[in-house]
Structure 1
């Protein structure tokens, strides 16, 4: 059983940020030469794509009628403490 909802936008953002880290690591290791500004479009493009994926995923959830139920370890706001 999943402990939380799958969030594909975070997956896309993570992949692009890892890719940016690999590009800088390759430059630091001397495998290739990367200009300082080369990673900016990679990160900005990845974050924009992640935002778009997140919006589409939320629209799909709403269309299917899935509720935003709290995870089992989170307190529910409608129950008294």
Structure 2
């Protein structure tokens, strides 16, 4: 089986989207009250952080010469 390269930007985006889902799941279960537009800053902030993470990762990989993640 071929291994895929690790992409931290996608990990960050997934964590923030999972957090947004968990916030609304808690609201639906009646554990707490969540304002209707709470997902907007949570998801937007997560996507911005994911973009920054992906850009930093790409810069590090370019500098090392490991663009595909498999070494030089």
Same fold by TM (over 0.5)?
yes
Q: Does 1:64 align with 2:64?
A: yes
The match for 1:49 is 49
Unmatched tracts of structure 2, length 5 or more = none
Q: Could you tell me how far 1:39 is from its partner in structure 2?
A: 1.3
The structure whose Rg is larger is 1
Q: 1:23-77 CA distances to partner (integer Å, 9 max, x unpaired)?
A: 00000000000011111100000000000000000000000011437xxxxxxxx
**Which runs of structure 1 show a deviation greater than 6 angstroms over 4 or more consecutive aligned residues?**
none
Matches within 5 A, 1:32-43: 32-43=32-43
Q: What number of residue pairs does the alignment pair up? A: 69
Name the CA shift for 1:9/1:65 in 2 (closer, same or farther; >3 Å): same
Q: Indicate the residue corresponding to 2:16 in structure 1.
A: 16
Q: What's the Cα RMSD here?
A: 1.7
